[in-house]
A and B are shown apart, each in its own frame.
Chain A
Amino acid sequence: MTGIDASVELRPRLVGQRIKRTEDPRLLTGCGRYVDDITPPGTLHVAIRRSDQPHALIRGIEAGEAFAVPGVVGVFDASDLDADMAPAIPTSRMTGYYATPFRPLAQGKVRYIGEPVVAVVAESRYAAEDALEHIHIDYEPLPFAIRQVDAVADDAPLLHAEAGTNVIIARTFAHGDVDAAIAQAAVTVHGRFRMTRKTAVPMENRAYLAEWDRRRRALTLHSSTNIPGIIRDVLAACLDLPGNRMRVVAPDVGGSFGGKGSLNHEEMLVCVLAKKLERPVKFVADRMEDLTAMSQAFDELIDATLAVDADGRLLGLDADVIGDIGAYSIYPWTAALEPVQVVSFLPGPYRMAHYRGRVRGVLTPKPPTGPYRGVGRPSSTFAMERLMDMAARALGLDPAEMRRRNLVTTEEFPYRTGSGIIWDRSAFQECLEAVCRHVDYPALVKARDAARAAGRWVGIGLASYAELTGIGSRIAVAPGMPINTGTETAAIRIDATGAVTAAFGISSHGQGLETTLAQIVADEIGCRLEDVEIQHGDSALVPMGTGTYASRSAVLGGGAATKSARVVRGKLLKAAAHLMQVPVEDLDAEAGIIRARSSNATMTVKEVANAVYSQMGRIPHDQREDLVAAETYDPYLGTACSSTHLAMVEIDPETYGVTITRYAVAEDCGRLINPMIVDGQVHGAVAQGIGAALLEEVVHDDDGQLVTASLADYLVPVATSVPDIGIVHVEAELPATLGGFRGIGEGGTIGAPAAIANAVSDALSHLGIEVDTLPVTPDRIFRLVEAARAKGMG
């Protein structure tokens, strides 16, 4: 589209308003439809026998008396399915990378505790679980290295012998001369930071239901996924089905946060079983299975040195990262996703000439790591922001001033970091100033100092970061991944009744996209919000769509909605011009009414649609066009989203418990589509960041056994763990994306761990303590304090 219709800007707009969500009534009344709410007649249920060995050969599997359990239909292991389904191969363009094949059930060998080995299919889940107990698996245990520092060693036992190494991904970014920068620096600070393993814990566990249509020879998978298009494409390939006979539907999905954003063994499994048995087959994970075997996250060791001059200006950063990627490279993102992003984003939102970041992703006998809200950046921001505070402390600089001196300034955009990321203009400096203003930073510092003088352990922490959001086709969301993540399509139609249907490849699972995309469509067409239905989460809606992840849907989905809606509006007004006998330039559409500016003549969208479709001859036959469009949007580069977080904490010197007494976020997410929904995204992401900082840790013991397999062991924040969060929306110059949107879904999870780690370190600064491991639990604080006191501090 060329030119901007000035009248669009003058009309009252839905974009920018706190519109109540259209998805709420069904979700509030128990009318939501999640996968486990769908049970077609004749559905069979799957229970899975999982590996209890971290690394072992499967010598034999005996079904024993399993078939004697009433209702049992079948018992399957990998050998029963090999001929029916090819493995998924998470390919990558990265050199030296090894793509581990991904199958529904373990073949020949198990590589982590919780890996699916045998599937029992029965008329009820109760019967299937009864039968599991009769199955005997004969294992030959193999040696293994459970910790990443051991698994990278040359003589470590190999998890995938075919790879010839456990290090299946390695990359180095280098810019400038970091060794010289460190040698010349007035101050260098060093840390060995550990962001422990996390898991996403969406409240709905993973659930899959596959239905085989014998008449059409077609398969429909209902999946609690946020990437239905990607899952359709890979399963179609694995099962050798064309895309018009392989459909993936994500109905209401109870959260994902990335945990449901990869291919899962179990969704392959129900598909192959449904096709084989020609009956609907359902698998619903219980919480223990999700905590044990869903994709996990983060888990990096970051050894980093930061060099600064006497004025606190950053000179260079040198980092060596070992990412524990678990037992498989995840499909489609690959093992590069998490660890490579860490070294890509380590330089942060700062001006810095010299950088070297080396990363190795190493196989260990644990569940594969995959996307989790923030991906890579919670770890990189934690390490970099800790180093910033350590350097500020060494120089006697206030942490806010330290950041002020180094954040990229307006005139420096676009700014290329040492790892090659290009920051387009975003409110880096403005967010720092805004959050400091919001909390009255000088007063807060005074309050902290007064509390300290009274012997209390009180600290303030800042964290600044930037992220790429709404990434277009120039780079893949996951480094080296060959899938196009840079485009989205909106198929919009006004039908013969005047109703507007807008179908997308994105997949809302809590983000409220049914509301925000409808706001955009209604504004752009000039129809009423209530006339718009948003369809999403179904691979059959558009030719190709990858889903909702990586803070992309507002930018890509919103951009596609804008593009298509403008075409539909053009067709609508052209038809109205014929019908009303006025020039098309004289027409405007607003809230479902098309009005001629030069007269009082009006028609409704409904009347025009009726005339176009149902009344022969009203529009000249060679001029008549259906009121439809399916446009694809590609933001190409994408855009930056930036933010500064501030946390104030108090530590109880007897229990070592941390209380967050103040929390504020200033962020630049471009034009806000619905400020209420943006607030909700920030609140939820910050809460997850608080969990990562203070509570959440997936722990495997030395035997490879998961010891955090319940929600009483893997602690997520509850209402008393989280404070009220102050939010400042900084709308700086809008980015060049269509609509001016930036992505905001992940940011809170990126900033909060770093801000809290800095606040806790500040509160313990009298003991010389620098937090280097998250979560900083009471147990860890106790140990840090004891060690400091043993050294004579405090």
Chain B
Amino acid sequence: MSARAEITVTVNGLTHTRAVDPRLLLSDFLRHELGLTGTHVGCEHGVCGACTILLDGRSARSCLMLAVQADGAAIDTVEGLGSMEALGRVQQAFRDHHALQCGFCTPGFLMTITDMLRHHALESDAQIREALSGNICRCTGYEHIVNAVRELARERGPLK
């Protein structure tokens, strides 16, 4: 086995330095090394989107990256969006619209939507559904998620 590599990543504003196996997946690093189990692993082949995080502000699949590739990066995970006492805005919209059931895909959706709201127009339901189409939810049938995102996009207004 190859030697461990030292990496430094900033996760939800906290900086961590760790020695990791070069083959360690970023998703496993977050979950098992840092104990941030809110990021879920649903397929490990980049299709389902449950493991989506923000990497330097843009959504990325943490199951398709090695931890060493994130060296020097700023990462945001679901734990950084809000707390049980004070939900973040996207989290609150999900609760208001019953946009989650089992909750397993939810962190990935929350991170994807955070990115989409910053960078995409989301002016129509068709655009919203397109933006969500890289994440799989098996419980909700998506309609309540679309309703939540529609409200968030209206509240945000047109992109500058």
Contact with A37, one of B24, B37, B133, B137 (Cβ below 8 angstroms): B37
Interface residues of B in 140-156 (CB under 8 A from A): 140-146
Please measure, in the bound complex, the distance between the C-alpha atom of A683 and the C-alpha atom of B147, giving whole angstroms: 13
A789 close to chain B: CB less than 8 A = no
Q: How far is the CB of A206 from chain B (nearest CB, A)?
A: 12
A719:B142 contact, CB within 8 angstroms: yes
**Given A204-B42, A254-B103: A30 and B138 within 8 A (CB)?**
no
| Complex interface: chain A residues within 8 A of B129 (CB) | 719-720
Q: How far does the alpha carbon of A687 sit from the alpha carbon of B142 in the complex, in Å?
A: 8
Shortest distance from the beta carbon of B110 to any chain A beta carbon, whole Å: 7
B160 within 8 A of partner (CB)? no
A28 touches B98 (CB 8 A): no
A166 vs B37: C-alpha distance in the bound complex, in angstroms? Answer: 45
| Residues in A neighbouring B106, C-beta threshold 8 A | 27-28
User: Do the beta carbons of B87 and A28 come within 8 Å of each other?
Assistant: yes
Q: Are B50 and A30 in contact (CB under 8 A)?
A: no
Q: Is the CB of A29 within 8 A of B38?
A: yes
| A373-B83 Cα distance, complex, nearest whole Å | 34
Residues of chain A in range 1-50 having any CB-CB distance to chain B below 8 Å: 20-21, 23-34, 36-37, 39
CB-CB under 8 A from B134, the residues of chain A are 718
A278-331, CB < 8 A from B: 286-288
Give Cα A684–Cα B87 distance, bound, in whole angstroms: 25
Assess A203 versus B48: contact at CB under 8 Å? Given A29-B38, A29-B82.
Answer: yes
Which of B84, B133, B134 neighbours the largest number of chain A CB atoms within 10 Å of its CB? B84
Interface digits, B1-40 against A, CB 8 Å rule (1 contact, 0 not)? 1000000000000000000010110000001100011111
Q: Does B105 contact A (CB under 8 A)?
A: yes
Q: How far is the CB of B99 from chain A (nearest CB, A)?
A: 9
Chain B residues whose C-beta falls within 8 Å of the C-beta of A720 in the assembled complex? 129-130, 133
Bound-state Cα–Cα, A111 to B29, Å: 37
The minimal Cβ–Cβ distance linking A441 to chain B, given in whole angstroms, is 22
Q: Which of B40, B78, B137, B142 contacts A204 (CB 8 A)?
A: B40
Which residues of B, 31-85, contact A by the 8 Å Cβ criterion? 31-32, 36-45, 47-48, 50, 77-79, 81-84
Q: Is the CB of B136 within 8 A of A510?
A: no
Q: Which of B37, B41, B81, B91 is packed against the most chain A CB atoms within 10 Å? A: B37
We find that the number of chain A residues with CB closer than 8 angstroms to chain B is 59
For residue A252, which residue of chain B has the nearest CB?
B103
Contact B102 A287 (CB under 8 A): no
| B159 interface residue (CB < 8 Å to A) | no
Complexed CA–CA distance, A710 and B46 (Å):
10
Q: Shortest CB–CB separation between residue A543 and chain B, in angstroms? A: 27
Could you give, for residues 227-270 of chain A, a 1 whenever the CB lies within 8 Å of some chain B CB and a 0 otherwise? 00000000000000000000000001111010000000000000
Given contacts A21-B98, A28-B110, A716-B136, contact A34 B144 (CB under 8 A): no
Instruction: Give residues 87-136 of B contacting A (CB, 8 Å).
Output: 87, 91, 94-96, 98, 100-107, 110, 125, 128-130, 132-136
Give the Cβ gap from A462 to chain B, nearest Cβ, in Å.
20
Separation in Å of the B153 CB from the closest CB of chain A? 14
Q: Complex Cα distance A401/B9, Å?
A: 66
**Interface residue? A413 (CB, 8 A):** no
Inter-chain CA distance A718–B47, complex, in Å, is 11
- State the Cβ distance, B138 to closest chain A Cβ, in Å: 5
Beta-carbon contact of A29 and B101 below 8 Å: no
Tell me which of B78, B94, B141 contacts A684 (CB under 8 A): B141
- Cβ B140 vs Cβ A680 within 8 A: yes
A720 to B133, CA, bound (A): 6
Name A203's contact: one of B77, B78, B94, B104 (CB within 8 Å).
B104
- Contact between B78 and A287, CB atoms less than 8 A apart: no
CA of A20 to CA of B92, assembled, Å? 11
B24, B91, B103: the one contacting A23 at CB < 8 Å is B103
Q: Which residues of A, 669-688, contact B by the 8 Å Cβ criterion?
A: 676-677, 679-680, 682-688
Nearest CB on A from B17, distance (A):
21
B90 CB → nearest A CB, Å: 9
Chain B interface SS verdict (over half): loop
B141 to A30, Cβ gap below 8 A?
Answer: no
A204 touches B102 (CB 8 A): yes
| Residues in chain A near residue B37, CB distance under 8 A | 30, 33-34, 36-37
Q: Which residues of A contact B41 (CB under 8 A)?
A: 36
Q: Pick the residue among B24, B84, B96, B139 that contacts A20 (CB under 8 A).
A: B96
Partner of B38, one of A32, A201, A512, A686: A32
Docked-complex contact B138 and A711, CB < 8 angstroms: no
Bound-complex Cα distance A254 to B48 (A): 13
Q: Which residue of A lies closest to B93 (CB)?
A: A28
Within A702-747, the residues touching B (CB, 8 Å) are: 710-712, 716-720, 722, 724-725
Chain A residues, Cβ within 8 Å of B104? 32, 34, 202-204, 254-255
Q: A48 to chain B: closest CB distance in Å? A: 15
Residues of A within 8 A of B81 (CB): 29
In the complex, A70 has a CB within 8 A of chain B = yes
Give Cα distance in the complex from A480 to B129, angstroms: 45
- Neighbouring A residues of B91 by C-beta, 8 Å: 28-29
Knowing A29-B38, A254-B104, A722-B141 are in contact, say whether A24-B136 is a contact too (CB < 8 A).
Answer: no
Q: How far is the CA of A680 from the CA of B110 in the complex (A)?
A: 18
Bound together, the chains give a CA A36 to CA B28 distance in angstroms of 11
Q: Which residues 370-385 of A have a CB within 8 angstroms of B?
A: none
| With known contacts A202-B102, A203-B136, A204-B102, A683–B78 Cβ distance under 8 A | no
Inter-chain contact A710/B139, CB cutoff 8 Å: no
Residues of B within 8 A of A712 (CB): 45, 47
A711 touches B45 (CB 8 A): yes
Closest B residue by C-beta to A688:
B138
Kindly state the separation between the CA atoms of A748 and B138 in the bound complex, as whole angstroms: 13
Contact A203 B105 (CB under 8 A): yes
Q: Which chain B positions have C-beta within 8 A of A24?
A: 94-95, 100, 103
- Say whether, besides A34-B104, A510-B101, A725-B143, A718 and B77 are in contact (CB < 8 Å): no
Q: Which residues from B are CB-within-8-Å of A717?
A: 141-142
Q: How far is the CA of A510 from the CA of B98 in the complex (A)?
A: 11
- Are A287 and B103 in contact (CB-based, < 8 A)? no
Residues from 492 to 535 in A contacting B, C-beta threshold 8 Å: 509-512
* Known A-B contacts A30-B77, A30-B78, A202-B138; A511 and B101 likewise in contact (beta carbons under 8 Å): yes
Q: Does A636 contact B (CB under 8 A)?
A: no
B84 touches A725 (CB 8 A): no
Residues of chain B lying within 8 A (CB to CB) of residue A687: 140-142
Is residue A205 contacting chain B, with contact meaning CB distance below 8 A?
Answer: yes
**Nearest neighbor of B144 in chain A, beta-carbon distance:** A680
A748 cross-chain contacts in B, Cβ below 8 A: 141
B residues contacting A by CB (< 8 A) are 1, 21, 23-24, 31-32, 36-45, 47-48, 50, 77-79, 81-84, 87, 91, 94-96, 98, 100-107, 110, 125, 128-130, 132-146
A-B CB contact pairs (8 Å), 18 listed? A20-B95, A34-B40, A201-B138, A203-B42, A204-B40, A286-B44, A287-B45, A676-B98, A677-B98, A680-B98, A683-B143, A710-B43, A718-B133, A719-B132, A719-B135, A719-B142, A719-B146, A724-B125
Across the A-B interface, the 8 shortest Cβ-Cβ residue pairs: A30-B38, A254-B104, A27-B103, A683-B141, A510-B102, A687-B141, A510-B101, A37-B37
17 additional contacts, CB 8 Å, given A29-B87, A687-B140, A722-B142? A26-B84, A28-B87, A28-B91, A31-B38, A31-B84, A204-B42, A204-B104, A255-B139, A510-B102, A512-B101, A677-B98, A710-B43, A711-B45, A718-B133, A719-B128, A719-B142, A722-B143
